[in-house]
Amino acid sequence: MEFGPHLFIASLEGAITAAVLALTAVGLSIVFGIMRVVNVAHGEFFMLGAVLAWWITSLIAGHPALGFGVALVAAPIVVGAIAVLCNRLVLNKINYEPERTIVATIGLLYVIQQTTLMTFGPEARPVEAPFNKRIALPWFEFGESGFALTWPWGLSTTTYKLAVIVAAILILLILWLVLTRTKIGLIMRATQLDSEMAQAHGIAVNKVYAMVFGLGAALAALGAVLVVPIQQAHYLMGGDPLLLSFIVVIIGGLGSVLGTVVAAVLIGMSDGIISVFFTPTLAKILATLLVAFVLIFKPDGLFGRRRE
């Protein structure tokens, strides 16, 4: 493939990775930002979202869009509820102490993963996209006859892939509005700034924590439901999103939603482009290397606020 169309298709693939990654990483980021909890089980909430999407769509007969629509709403809610329960039964009991929460969420990771293996099984299962039409994309060139549009071989995407990008942008916008323009958002931000002071002002911090942990997991699940018609549900699928989310959150600045989104776009796009032109392994190497440099030169991340 020629360089131009090749780069274009790489950017498209990168944009899909970035869109899903942004949703997942923002979930991880608000959990850390507000609760100071490093949630190692975050990838498993992502996986649960995909697996539930498969389960729900397989229960509902009729047009695939019907089942998918239900899954898009129900899966994040169920995963959020599971996360609230985990918060109540585990994190709350250990007082959100940083070291203990890391170990506890590692435990949660295995519990969720193995429970899925025992129930859902080890197979990858497909979810049919609500709509999926191939779109051949045009490319322009200046030939002997001047400017001309061509349709290069293989330069294409699908309507569903474009919809994933649009949906992710919409969800992130809504999230941003909730965080900055609503009372719930205000309470969350207050808790983030100083949880003790917030509690002194009558905010039920424990309830906020439960809600935030649920919201973080629900965002990961939402990302998974969006991507599962492109990928397939599998009990081991949580590993990559977890690694990439951590990379993104560290680069963007722990707890900074804007930083997380910017970093997700940066990592997602570079992952797409480097994978296409070189190898996917090199893309991961470079992303991890970038984390190392950020930690050395700007330990709070690109958008992180320095804390005392």
Site of interaction with another protein (CB under 8 A):
1, 5-6, 9-10, 13, 17, 117, 121-124, 126, 128, 132, 134, 136, 153-154, 156, 158, 230-232, 234, 236-237, 240, 272, 275-276, 280-281
CB of 16 to another protein, least distance (A): 8
Cβ neighbourhood burial of 300 (10 Å; 0-12, 13-18, 19+): middle
CB-side neighbour CA atoms (13 Å) of 123? 5
Q: Which two tokens stand for residue 99?
A: 């070291």
CB of 274 to another protein, least distance (A): 10
Nearer to another protein, 280 or 299 (CB): 280
Nearer to another protein, 138 or 299 (CB): 138
Alpha carbon 110 to chain centroid distance? Answer: 20
Nearer to another protein, 12 or 290 (CB): 12
CB of 189 to another protein, least distance (A): 35
Nearer to another protein, 100 or 125 (CB): 125
Nearer to another protein, 44 or 212 (CB): 44
Q: Is 286 helix (H, G, I), strand (E, B) or coil?
A: helix
CB of 25 to another protein, least distance (A): 17
Nearer to another protein, 45 or 235 (CB): 235
Of residues 163, 135, 136, the one with CA closest to residue 65: 163
Q: Is 233 helix (H, G, I), strand (E, B) or coil?
A: strand
Which residues fall within 8 angstroms of residue 22, CB to CB, at 6 or more apart?
168, 172, 223, 248, 260, 261, 264, 265, 268
CB of 237 to another protein, least distance (A): 7
Nearer to another protein, 2 or 97 (CB): 2
Residue 143 dihedral angles phi and psi, to the nearest 5°: -100, -160
Alpha carbon 284 to chain centroid distance? Answer: 17
CB of 15 to another protein, least distance (A): 12
CB of 44 to another protein, least distance (A): 16
Nearer to another protein, 42 or 234 (CB): 234
| CA 241 – CA 296 distance, rounded (Å) | 24
CB of 14 to another protein, least distance (A): 8
Of residues 8, 29, 4, 5, the one with CA closest to residue 263: 29
Q: Tell how strand 156-158 and strand 146-150 pair up.
A: unpaired
Which residues fall within 8 angstroms of residue 186, CB to CB, at 6 or more apart?
none
